[in-house]
Amino acid sequence: MNTQEYEKRMQWYTEARFGMFIHWGVYSLIGRGEWVRSTEQISIEDYQPYADAFHPSAFDAKQLAQTAKNAGMRYAVFTAKHHDGFCLFDSRLTDYTSMHTCGRDFVREYLDAFHEAGLKAGLYYSLLDWHHPDYPHYGDRHHPMRADPAYRNRKHDFENYLQYMHGQIEELCRNYGPLDLLWTDFSYDDLRADAWHGEELVKMIRRYQPDIILNNRLEASGEGFGSLLEAEPKITSGDFVSPEQIIPPKGIRNALGEPVPWEACITMNNHWGYAEDDHYFKSSTMCIRKLVECVSKGGNMLLNIGPDGEGRIPPESERILDEIGDWMKRNSASVYGCGYCPIDKPEYGRITAKENRLYYHVLEPMIGGIPLTGIRREDIGSIRLLYDGRSLPVSDTWITGNYPDLVFTDLGEDPDLPDPCDTVIEVTLKKRKFSE
């Protein structure tokens, strides 16, 4: 791995910290999640009417980009093709596309809108394909026809499928201008890097898109990490690790103990794709605090939305994103460009760090002042509250005097926090730097 090239292409990504995942496709019409073909073992024939009916009238890429931007997100990842094999882009290799059903290239609409809004834009592409005749059917762990005896003796030309898959990724890399990120998904059982002809694939991708960022799922899935954690990563390692539906307890480091870029992809409710009956949405407070947790451990957060079959964002998602955006307008300095801080997590919250600034995230009220753990009084240049920008004092009272090794600050007479979700205190240090 060329370290200089790697750090250059990763610079925007580790600065951004917060992105939007967009799971959307034919399965959204059914409204029971993106895995519905597999979980309900729906045949191609029974799934086809949904593909034929995919004529979304409400999908508005510009509005979606503005929603992401208002929420404080700096990048997005959009499902160009999910496991069902249906493509939301114009492909010469199949007519199983949105161009064929409704004459719209949603990938182009998305990329144009997000780049126009000043956001980085990436694509998700499934390595699995339950529609292609040469992708393994019977006995595969995930295929909808895995248990159908009619497929028991059917022969598959997997090399033919690989040519198709490589060809489609080449189309995405050559036909849509600069791509900021490619999120391939996923490897399992014997279908891992070598089986995908991964080295050949990565070389082709980087030939057409030299600055693109790749995830680690040519080698792993959400349940693995891949060779990026080894002292000498393979060419198929990708650029970041992609833990799914979990935030690593202590961040992620490689075999040399060095921090490795990672991104926790997280749903708003319990599904990636639109699920009509799933109203178990995480609150905006939870999403904000989990974003801060990711950043404090040196990672990114990719928060998912699942538009419905017409392309509308669920109202719960809209509300949550609006509330996140309100917090980010005041406190984004504690997220963008910030990362891991070696100071132990305080009992009241978390700490993010950037150069000579520390951001103490206070998640619960304190009595007797707020201890600014891990620093000395003589290190401090200034203290301010991000909520309204006002300066805060170092607290010198008989109450705090019993703890001479700690520095305290005081928010004032009101015992409640100005922001009950997350009140952020910015401490600018005179010289000392904490960021890695």
Tell me what pLDDT residue 436 has. Answer: 47
Three-class SS of residue 70?
helix
Tell me what pLDDT residue 434 has. Answer: 57
Extents of the domains making up the chain: 3-331, 349-429
Mean pLDDT of 204-219: 98
* Rounded Cα gap, residues 143 and 151, in angstroms: 11
Q: Looking at domain 3-331, which CATH architecture does it have?
A: Alpha-Beta Barrel (3.20)
Q: pTM score, two decimals?
A: 0.97
Mean pLDDT taken over the chain = 96
**pLDDT grade, residue 222 (50/70/90)?**
confident
Select 349-429's CATH number: 1.10.260.40, 2.60.40.1180, 3.40.50.300, 3.40.1080.10: 2.60.40.1180
Tell me what pLDDT residue 433 has. Answer: 63
Mean pLDDT of 141-169: 96
Whether residue 361 contacts residue 333, with contact meaning beta carbons closer than 8 Å, is answered with no
Which whole-number Å values give the CA distances from 195 to 173, 240, 261, 316, in the listed order? 21, 21, 25, 40
Give a three-class secondary structure readout of 372-411.
CCCCCHHHEEEEEECCCCCECCECCCCCHHHCCCCCEECC
Q: What is the distance between the terminal CA atoms of the chain, rounded to a whole angstrom?
A: 20
With the C-alpha atoms ordered 267, 271, 274, 278, is the resulting torsion angle positive or negative? negative
Is it the case that residue 414 has pLDDT exceeding 70? yes
Percent of the chain at pLDDT > 90 equals: 95
* Rounded Cα gap, residues 270 and 290, in angstroms: 16
Whether residue 352 contacts residue 391, with contact meaning beta carbons closer than 8 Å, is answered with no
Percent of the chain at pLDDT > 70 equals: 99
> Which residues are CB-neighbours of 119 under 8 A, at least 6 positions away?
65, 68, 69, 73, 74, 75, 76
Q: Between 5 and 10, where is the model more confident?
A: 10
Tell me what pLDDT residue 387 has. Answer: 92
Total count of residues recorded for the chain = 436
> Which residues are CB-neighbours of 289 under 8 A, at least 6 positions away?
361, 363, 421, 422
277-318, pLDDT tens digit by residue? 999 999 999 999 999 999 999 999 999 999 999 999 999 999
* Rounded Cα gap, residues 302 and 246, in angstroms: 11
Mean pLDDT of 214-242: 96
